[in-house]
Amino acid sequence: MSGAATQAVTEAATQQAQSAGSGFSVTDLIMGHITDGHEIEIPMTHVAIPLPHLHVGAFDLSITRNVVMMWIASGILVTVALVAARRAADPVPSGFRNLLEAFIKYFRDEIARKLIGHDADRYLPYLITCFFFIWTCNLLGLIPGFATPTGDISVTACLAVLAFLMIQAAGIKQYGAVTHFRNIVPGGLPLWLYPIMIPIEILSVLTKPFALCVRLFANMTAGHVVIIGMISLIFILQSAWAAAVAVPFTLFIFVLELLVCFLQAYIFTTLVATFIGMSVHPAH
């Protein structure tokens, strides 16, 4: 027992000496960037604005950094949409409205109508909002000083819950509640297969939104952790020559993050459209 105790003491001593000598803790830096906080920093300055704490009953509804980021994303989307729709009566689109219409047409034809079928236009506003909101939130995280709202598992969990509700609502609207829940298990199976299929299908209804949530959260967080870790390598090695390797690699990962932001928003929306389509047309 004394062997383990001395080992623990030497461990703590070396750790303290290391951190006191370098004055730099990678874990604290990464955790500070990833987790939510009660103050928001203006980018490119060191001014930090404290944000109000707000407790309603048992719920902590403080305005935290991620909440402000989501408001900024919503503000950007509303502004963009209003600017594009200024001359909505004009039958020939031009300029910025043309660009947005290209995106929306792609979503309507290639994703919504192909995956959902005849009733696609009803779900199109939700799918487009989903895509542009997630894309804007992901991109906001790349600005130095801002945080990624979708890098917080609470935000992605809410997006996944809303997707789950949308999928069930689509099935219930199409078939009625009882038939929709019976459609979850495919029909025409031999009788001995049902005790296996029913738990599997019920679990799959729950794991699909869970996978959406974790995929988006992990992709966003992992990208930022890699970027911060690469730059911290310079400080851990205490040498300026490490920058010759670390900075180009970080730049590469940063540009890859731009692609990942778009791709994860696209995958989220396409999967929700696929699940809505499976709900509306259980063509097993």
What is the C-alpha separation between 154 and 208, in angstroms, rounded? 17
The phi and psi torsions of 25 (rounded to 5 degrees) equal -120, 115
In this complex, which beta carbon is closest to another protein, that of residue 243 or of residue 271? 271
In this complex, which beta carbon is closest to another protein, that of residue 181 or of residue 266? 266
Structure tokens given for 80: 């963009």
For 32-58, b/e burial (b = at least 16 CB within 10 A) is ebbebeeebbeeeeeeeeebeeeeeee
What letter would DSSP give residue 143?
S
Per CB under 8 A, 275 contacts another protein = no
Among 214, 231, 242, 243, binds another protein (CB under 8 A): 214
User: Would you give the distance in Å from CA 149 to the centre of its chain?
Assistant: 7
From 78-86, 117-125, 210-218, 248-256, give the range in contact with another protein by CB under 8 A.
210-218
Query: C-beta of 217: minimal distance to another protein in Å?
Result: 8
Per CB under 8 A, 4 contacts another protein = yes
The phi and psi torsions of 187 (rounded to 5 degrees) equal -90, 175
Question: Binding marks (x or -) toward another protein, 6..45, rule CB under 8 A?
Answer: -x--------------------------------------
One-letter amino acid of 163:
A
From 12-20, 48-56, 159-167, 260-268, give the range in contact with another protein by CB under 8 A.
260-268
For residues 151 and 221, is the Cβ–Cβ distance under 8 A?
yes
Per CB under 8 A, 211 contacts another protein = yes
One-letter amino acid of 151:
G
Among 184, 205, 256, 263, binds another protein (CB under 8 A): 263
Structure tokens given for 191: 């009788």
Query: C-beta of 4: minimal distance to another protein in Å?
Result: 7
Per CB under 8 A, 219 contacts another protein = yes
In this complex, which beta carbon is closest to another protein, that of residue 40 or of residue 159? 159
The phi and psi torsions of 267 (rounded to 5 degrees) equal -65, -40
Query: C-beta of 148: minimal distance to another protein in Å?
Result: 15
Query: C-beta of 134: minimal distance to another protein in Å?
Result: 13
Per CB under 8 A, 222 contacts another protein = yes
Interaxial angle between packed helices 96-106 and 65-84, expressed in degrees from 0 to 180 and rounded to the nearest 10: 110
In this complex, which beta carbon is closest to another protein, that of residue 206 or of residue 222? 222
Per CB under 8 A, 266 contacts another protein = yes
Query: C-beta of 267: minimal distance to another protein in Å?
Result: 5
From 91-99, 135-143, 173-181, 217-225, give the range in contact with another protein by CB under 8 A.
217-225
- Binding residues with another protein: total (CB under 8 A): 14
Per CB under 8 A, 126 contacts another protein = no
3-class DSSP state of 194 = helix
What is the C-alpha separation between 109 and 116, in angstroms, rounded? 10
Q: Kindly tell me the sign of the dihedral angle through the C-alpha atoms of 12, 17, 18, 19.
A: positive
Here the contacts of 181-184 (C-beta below 8 Å, separation 24 or greater) are: 183/279, 183/282, 184/282
Instruction: Summarize as ranges the residues that interact with another protein (CB under 8 A).
Output: 4, 7, 211, 214-215, 217-219, 222, 263-264, 266-267, 270
